[in-house]
Chain A
Amino acid sequence: MKKTRPPEAASVSDAVSRRDFLADSGRLVTAACLAGVTAGAVRLSLPDVESGRRPRARLGAPADFKMGTVTWLQEHELFVCHKAHGFAAFSSRCPHLGCTVRRTTTGFRCPCHGARFDPEGRVVSGPARRALDWFAVETGPDGQLWVDRSRATEPGSFTPLRVAAAESAG
């Protein structure tokens, strides 16, 4: 069918009618309100205060950790290792998906999906793609051993502590 509408009528119908304008405005406002409420609800669900642990924590007196041992500190989820060349602390959380690893005769093993680590926490086999997390260890002004989780260190890097060496030697 051919269009028979005169040109001026076409231009009039191109203009938005009052009814359509109001209806569209209404829809727009409704959509904007819904979007705003949704965004607010999502924001509310994101927790502002995270009850996590502090990065620095006191592990105990250096003498508590005997030379040549690896001690598991449950409440810190850390292994503390004392060797001739110093102290080290690394996480007992599996870097795969966060289960707690266990000690075995050859290192560590995770019960959740079978990741295996050597005695210094490097991946031997399984789904973990990186070693257990190592953190810096230092002595505080109180002479106690502290861990600083904000400072990651390489697996196998021990902090030589003279106090500790003297104590455990004596």
Chain B
Amino acid sequence: MSFVADVVRAARALPQNLRHDLHPGVSADDSPGSRLRRSFLYHLFPLRVTERALAPATTFGLGLVSVALFILLTVTGLLLMFYYVPTPRDAYGSMLDIDNVVTFGRLCRRLHRFGADLMVAVVLLHLVRVVAQAAYRRRELNWLIGLGLASLLVGLAFTGYLLPWDQRSYWAVRVVTELLGLLPVVGRAMQLVLVGGAEVGAATLSRFYALHVALLPLGMLGCLVWHLWRIRKDGGLAAVEVDPPTVAAWPHLVLRVSLVLLGTTALVLFVALVQDAPLAPLANPLRPENPEKAPWYFLAVQEMVSYSALTGGVVIPVLTALGFLALPFLDRADLDVGYWLGARGERRTVLVAVVASGVVLGLGTVAYLTPELGAVLEALPPWAHDVLNPAGLMLCWTALVVVGTGLRTDAVRPALRAGIGALFVGLCVFTLLGMLRGPDWGLASPWEAFRRVF
């Protein structure tokens, strides 16, 4: 009968044994340090962190918010995959099902859509933070990994955009793949690989689906893990102090991280509860909508492309990418690394450059849109149209700002920052203008544009 007794004893001890056997990292008498060391999840964190790294204004938690959104997008994306059918015949119908038939389907789709929108914005701000603190200094590899993450994110946003197979997705993809063909050397091959044939169709949807649900997210997961690991390998967040005051990561860091994850989810959930995710009519390969607008984060490019496909769609994006790649290898100063915008004199220089850019680019664009100047420009030969437009102006002005600031301050960093500032101001002007575009790409009043969006 000892068999029965053994079973009874094991059953009684089960709760306690489960706790001990399945969670070996934690027991009541463990010190906080050993908890961090022995639990898989927590061992992502260092044992101690600097007080400065914990201060909200150091990073605004922007990288962490991006991580939270990546998790949210992965979960909601997997759920959407249960119902989404990636063929031109069924895709749109399955979107309608998700919105109208599937229980919680609409909520899930909104979470995925708004999470993606927010992630683009937050990653951009994270990049701005890293630039404004020169936090790429002695973190060159992690800067490059970050740029890889940013390009994967753009790829995910773009491939995801096609999946609903509505009017907007279809025409956006047709225009962008056409644009890719203009890239020198590799353009035509990239276009063929993405489109999978002569026309955007079933082959394109299959390829975009594979990229969106497998290749790009896996790439992003890999880069993300690498990115986070590099932060610890680089000795934590960038800072100039030699022996800064620290606190124990448990509970200070763990608590903050949990709060950021929770807060991000709550924010997206709130937006998803009150705002509907857009879905245009079914794709019609013969008739674009009027106007056919890109999502907000591509509007600046669409606006620039409406001046010149070559300048706005190829030259400026390629030069910007090259500039960002080169950034940490051009700026080699160790001064003020980890502090917002460095010394006061430098701050003023950058501010002046940004304000001047707003004035020059704003006025230049308005002048370009007046019929008087339009008539003068129209008389010029075709190649001149590619240069003499607001996008060309932004390019030349940015170059001027970089050289001018560099000569004035005799330093590389303020010159690069002023240049990036000028570029951002220009892109903001173009985004605003893109929002005002109405039927036939004419300009509408802000009020009309607002009404169209909401």
Which of chain A's residues has its CB closest to B192's CB?
A: A46
Is the CB of A17 closer than 8 A to any CB of chain B? no
* Residues of B contacting A99 in the complex (Cβ-Cβ under 8 angstroms): 171, 174-175, 288, 292
Please pick, from A46, A111, A130, the residue contacting B189 in the complex, using a CB distance under 8 A. Answer: A46
Distance between Cα atoms of A111 and B302 in the complex (Å): 12
Asked if B287 and A97 make an inter-chain contact with CB atoms under 8 angstroms apart, the answer reads: no
Asked if A74 and B286 make an inter-chain contact with CB atoms under 8 angstroms apart, the answer reads: yes
User: Looking at chain A's contact residues, is the secondary structure mostly helix, strand, loop, or mixed?
Assistant: loop
Provided the pairs A97-B305, A125-B378 are in contact, do residues A51 and B198 lie with their beta carbons within 8 angstroms? yes
Q: What per-residue 1/0 map shows which CB atoms of B293-315 lie under 8 Å from chain A?
A: 00000000010011111000000
User: Looking at chain B's contact residues, is the secondary structure mostly helix, strand, loop, or mixed?
Assistant: helix
Question: Number of A residues whose C-beta is below 8 Å from B?
Answer: 28
Distance between Cα atoms of A72 and B298 in the complex (Å): 32
Asked if A111 and B292 make an inter-chain contact with CB atoms under 8 angstroms apart, the answer reads: yes
Provided the pairs A46-B193, A97-B178 are in contact, do residues A111 and B199 lie with their beta carbons within 8 angstroms? no
Q: A97-B179, A111-B292 are in contact. List 4 more A-B contacts (CB 8 A).
A: A53-B198, A112-B441, A126-B306, A127-B385
Residues of B within 8 A of A (CB): 171, 174-175, 178-179, 189, 192-193, 196-199, 201, 203, 286-292, 302, 305-309, 374, 378, 382, 385-386, 439-442
Residues of A within 8 A of B (CB): 42, 45-47, 49-53, 74, 77, 96-100, 102, 109-114, 125-127, 129-130
Distance between Cα atoms of A129 and B440 in the complex (Å): 18
* Residues of B contacting A45 in the complex (Cβ-Cβ under 8 angstroms): 193
* Residues of A contacting B193 in the complex (Cβ-Cβ under 8 angstroms): 42, 45-46
Which of chain B's residues has its CB closest to A96's CB?
A: B309
* Residues of B contacting A98 in the complex (Cβ-Cβ under 8 angstroms): 174-175, 178
Asked if B378 and A127 make an inter-chain contact with CB atoms under 8 angstroms apart, the answer reads: no
* Residues of A contacting B386 in the complex (Cβ-Cβ under 8 angstroms): 129
Asked if A47 and B192 make an inter-chain contact with CB atoms under 8 angstroms apart, the answer reads: yes
* Residues of B contacting A51 in the complex (Cβ-Cβ under 8 angstroms): 197-199, 201, 203
Asked if B307 and A127 make an inter-chain contact with CB atoms under 8 angstroms apart, the answer reads: yes
Distance between Cα atoms of A73 and B221 in the complex (Å): 48
Distance between Cα atoms of A96 and B386 in the complex (Å): 12
Please pick, from B199, B203, B288, B441, the residue contacting A100 in the complex, using a CB distance under 8 A. Answer: B288
* Residues of B contacting A46 in the complex (Cβ-Cβ under 8 angstroms): 189, 192-193
* Residues of A contacting B201 in the complex (Cβ-Cβ under 8 angstroms): 51
Asked if A52 and B198 make an inter-chain contact with CB atoms under 8 angstroms apart, the answer reads: yes
Asked if A113 and B302 make an inter-chain contact with CB atoms under 8 angstroms apart, the answer reads: yes
* Residues of B contacting A74 in the complex (Cβ-Cβ under 8 angstroms): 286
Shortest Cβ gap from B167 to chain A (Å): 11
Asked if B290 and A50 make an inter-chain contact with CB atoms under 8 angstroms apart, the answer reads: no
Asked if B197 and A111 make an inter-chain contact with CB atoms under 8 angstroms apart, the answer reads: no
* Residues of A contacting B442 in the complex (Cβ-Cβ under 8 angstroms): 114
Please pick, from B198, B203, B290, B309, the residue contacting A111 in the complex, using a CB distance under 8 A. Answer: B290
Which of chain A's residues has its CB closest to B188's CB?
A: A46
* Residues of A contacting B291 in the complex (Cβ-Cβ under 8 angstroms): 111-112
Distance between Cα atoms of A47 and B306 in the complex (Å): 30
Which of chain B's residues has its CB closest to A98's CB?
A: B178
Shortest Cβ gap from A43 to chain B (Å): 10
Which of chain B's residues has its CB closest to A112's CB?
A: B292
* Residues of B contacting A114 in the complex (Cβ-Cβ under 8 angstroms): 306, 440-442
Please pick, from B197, B290, B309, the residue contacting A47 in the complex, using a CB distance under 8 A. Answer: B197
Which of chain A's residues has its CB closest to B196's CB?
A: A47
Q: List 24 A-B contacts (CB under 8 A).
A: A45-B193, A46-B189, A46-B193, A47-B196, A47-B197, A47-B203, A50-B197, A51-B203, A52-B197, A74-B286, A97-B178, A97-B179, A98-B178, A99-B174, A100-B286, A100-B287, A111-B290, A111-B291, A112-B291, A112-B292, A112-B441, A127-B306, A127-B308, A130-B382
Distance between Cα atoms of A130 and B385 in the complex (Å): 12
Asked if B288 and A97 make an inter-chain contact with CB atoms under 8 angstroms apart, the answer reads: no
Shortest Cβ gap from B94 to chain A (Å): 24
Provided the pairs A52-B199, A99-B292 are in contact, do residues A113 and B305 lie with their beta carbons within 8 angstroms? yes
Provided the pairs A46-B192, A111-B440, A125-B378 are in contact, do residues A102 and B290 lie with their beta carbons within 8 angstroms? yes
Asked if A109 and B305 make an inter-chain contact with CB atoms under 8 angstroms apart, the answer reads: no
Asked if B441 and A113 make an inter-chain contact with CB atoms under 8 angstroms apart, the answer reads: yes
Asked if B286 and A112 make an inter-chain contact with CB atoms under 8 angstroms apart, the answer reads: no
